[in-house]
Homo-oligomer: A and B are copies of this chain.
């Protein structure tokens, strides 16, 4: 193990989660304790802020430990985020952008780079570590995963998923209780986030293995959606009860590849070329009203899925902090060009526990972890108990933010 002395920089990237600030707190806490690390800087708005030298010194701010605690239950990305993609080798801006980054690193004597983000952000970690290796700038570059989508490979689950899953599972319980109060025939379609994977939608069924209620039908984007089968499934539910509740992923597609919500698509395309979807629930609501003539309603849980810090999974917040902390330890020990991962342990005695590890970023960046076949039932209209047993430990325990006069108190750098 080579000792590398210098400063560190940490950034947040991609869509916020309710746990991404817990990971930031974990990195800061680890860096404050490390004798090899002098100062710890935060990039405002991720790599975008690094390029513009918008750096903020974190040591002084967080010498007050109570601020780290408040940061852990603060929603969104406290340092700000970005969706900037670093250029490819054959892009005209490649040399200019990476030169600028190295200049900033030299100016601030940055030897440790921690980037908290999802799939797209790991692309940044990969390119940056390739470049610094090639140009011989000695530093440690470590990615720390976060995404509510749980779609990063190599890790048992992603920090941020547990909080989103808990919010979705709890809110779905409430909606199931709410829609159950009337005796009239009705369908409620609940649309959940998930462009390519059904991890979040799967969490809506957690009540089934916990003595609670659960949606009658659950459709994930891992299966082709058929309107004919859907209507057939609804008829089957109506033969048992007047109220049907359906959970759907925003990214459901028909066999020809068209999105179910295409009619109501917003037309926005992000920097990574992903189309912003909206309207899968709304499209199905309209189709149901036409087909069955009954009351139909759609509910899109929307942004609160990723920012509802008023109901946090203790498992997720503790792991999110822990994996940030572990990233610093790993970097000090020489780890670079890697992403931190969470490994599930101790399943033998039935008690969930986890360990932190790390993995070559080449194996991870720009790949997607889908819900596996044995987590989806044969008809493709629900998830299996095996799937729910995988998710359940991740929502365990409750952490709440502090409230003053009835309103939540958060950390902000603008204070």
Cβ contacts under 8 Å, A315 to chain B: 406
Structural contact, B16 and A77, CB atoms closer than 8 A: no
Structural contact, B80 and A181, CB atoms closer than 8 A: yes
Interface positions, chain A 201-216, Cβ under 8 Å from B, are 206-207, 210, 212
Cβ of A410 within 8 Å of any chain B Cβ, yes or no, is yes
Structural contact, A182 and B80, CB atoms closer than 8 A: yes
Interface positions, chain A 379-415, Cβ under 8 Å from B, are 392-393, 395-398, 400, 403-408, 410
Cβ of A302 within 8 Å of any chain B Cβ, yes or no, is yes
Partner of A268, one of B48, B295, B313: B295
Cβ contacts under 8 Å, A166 to chain B: 406
Cβ contacts under 8 Å, A285 to chain B: 266
Nearest-CB distance from A222 to chain B (Å)? 24
Given A181-B16, A315-B406, A407-B206; A175-B303 close (CB under 8 Å): yes
Nearest-CB distance from A101 to chain B (Å)? 18
Structural contact, B300 and A300, CB atoms closer than 8 A: yes
Closest chain B residue, CB of each to CB of A415: B211
Cβ of A329 within 8 Å of any chain B Cβ, yes or no, is no
Cβ contacts under 8 Å, A400 to chain B: 398, 400
Nearest-CB distance from A401 to chain B (Å)? 9
Structural contact, B406 and A181, CB atoms closer than 8 A: no
Structural contact, A76 and B407, CB atoms closer than 8 A: no
Given A82-B182, A299-B302, A311-B311; A177-B76 close (CB under 8 Å): yes
Cβ of A81 within 8 Å of any chain B Cβ, yes or no, is yes
Partner of A178, one of B12, B16, B170, B206: B16
Nearest-CB distance from A83 to chain B (Å)? 7
Closest chain B residue, CB of each to CB of A79: B181
Closest chain B residue, CB of each to CB of A302: B299
Cβ contacts under 8 Å, A76 to chain B: 174, 177-178, 180-181
Cβ of A309 within 8 Å of any chain B Cβ, yes or no, is yes
Give bound CA distance, A398 to B182, whole Å: 29
Partner of A302, one of B77, B183, B210, B300: B300
A173-197 vs B, Cβ < 8 Å mask (1 yes, 0 no):
1110111111100001000000000
Give bound CA distance, A210 to B398, whole Å: 25
Give bound CA distance, A268 to B307, whole Å: 32
A-B contact pairs, 26 of them (CB 8 A): A16-B177, A74-B177, A76-B181, A80-B182, A82-B183, A170-B407, A170-B408, A171-B310, A173-B408, A173-B410, A174-B304, A174-B308, A175-B303, A177-B410, A210-B407, A266-B285, A266-B289, A299-B302, A301-B304, A304-B304, A311-B311, A392-B405, A392-B406, A396-B406, A398-B403, A398-B406
Minimum-distance CB pairs A-B, first 6: A395-B406, A76-B177, A396-B406, A178-B307, A81-B181, A174-B307
